[in-house]
């Protein structure tokens, strides 16, 4: 009776299709003789068909589970409540999801562990694109950081060079100021020496002029004395005569 009712199950195997002539009074009598009833017979047919389908699809389900990685399979091995078409569709989805996941895993930028377990093909490919974009953004950030480091080092070198040049200019300016101060000091000393020399020259000139004046007075005095003596001599000669 169970084997006969397998063919009369509905597509989801949750009950009988109740086709005309599928169950009659003879079935009711046979079930009574067997100590059972229609519901138990139909449930036995459903259990038997579900077990057959599970065994039929177990190989494909196992293969898909090996490629899905962290993804949850759409077909978990339980056929209850699913039509054969739905089972085939879920297995096909799992196969495509697994193939897409395996292909995506070859990309070093792909992070499969971050995917939602129920992710489909679109989410997987989007994760690949996101990983590629993250890698590109990271590389760009590293390039920008390296550029900033290079610019910072260049600016530091230029700043140190500028400071060295400013230091050289400052020391040169201090040296020029020192030399100018020395020059001014030398010039002042030279002027002082020149003034002292001029004063000494003037004193010597005054002394020479004074000496010449004394000599002229002495000459005049000597001449006067000579004239006086000569006059006295002439006077004495006159008396003598």
Q: CA–CA distance from 74 to each of 14, 91, 95 (Å)? A: 20, 7, 10
**Could you give the CA distance from residue 74 to residue 87 in angstroms, rounded to a whole number?**
9
Closest CA to 37 of 16, 13, 65: 16
Banded model confidence at residue 235, pLDDT cuts 50, 70, 90: low
24-68 pLDDT, tens digit per residue, is 767 777 878 888 888 888 889 899 999 999 999 999 999 999 999
Q: In the chain, pLDDT over 90 holds for what percent of residues?
A: 38
Q: Please report which helix (H) or strand (E) contains residue 144, including its range.
A: helix 121-240
Banded model confidence at residue 241, pLDDT cuts 50, 70, 90: low
Mean pLDDT of 195-203: 79
**Could you give the CA distance from residue 116 to residue 123 in angstroms, rounded to a whole number?**
9
* Model pTM score: 0.56
Question: Which pLDDT score is estimated for 136?
Answer: 92
**Could you give the CA distance from residue 31 to residue 47 in angstroms, rounded to a whole number?**
18
91-145 pLDDT, tens digit per residue, is 999 999 999 999 999 999 998 888 999 999 999 999 999 999 999 999 999 999 9
């Amino acid at each position: 009776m169970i084997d006969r009712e397998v063919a009369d199950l509905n597509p989801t195997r949750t009950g009988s299709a109740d086709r005309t002539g599928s169950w009659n009074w003879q079935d009711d009598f046979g079930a009574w003789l067997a100590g059972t009833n229609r519901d138990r017979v139909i449930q036995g047919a459903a259990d038997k068909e579900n077990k057959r389908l599970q065994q039929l699809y177990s190989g494909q389900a196992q293969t898909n589970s090996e490629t899905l990685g962290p993804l949850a399979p759409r077909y978990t091995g339980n056929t209850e409540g699913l039509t054969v078409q739905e089972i085939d569709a879920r297995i096909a989805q799992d196969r495509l999801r697994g193939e897409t996941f395996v292909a995506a895993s070859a990309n070093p930028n792909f992070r499969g562990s971050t995917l939602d377990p129920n992710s489909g093909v679109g989410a997987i490919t989007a994760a690949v694109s996101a990983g590629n974009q993250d890698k590109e953004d990271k590389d760009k950030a590293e390039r920008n950081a390296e550029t900033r480091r290079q610019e910072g080092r260049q600016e530091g070198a230029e700043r140190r060079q500028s400071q060295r040049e400013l230091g050289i200019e400052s020391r040169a300016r201090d040296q020029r100021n020192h030399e100018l101060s020395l020059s001014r000091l030398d010039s002042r000393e030279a002027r002082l020496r020149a003034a002292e020399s001029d004063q000494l020259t003037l004193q010597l000139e005054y002394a020479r002029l004074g000496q010449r004046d004394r000599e002229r007075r002495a000459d005049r005095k000597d001449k006067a004395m000579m004239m006086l003596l000569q006059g006295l001599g002439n006077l004495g000669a006159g008396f003598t005569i």
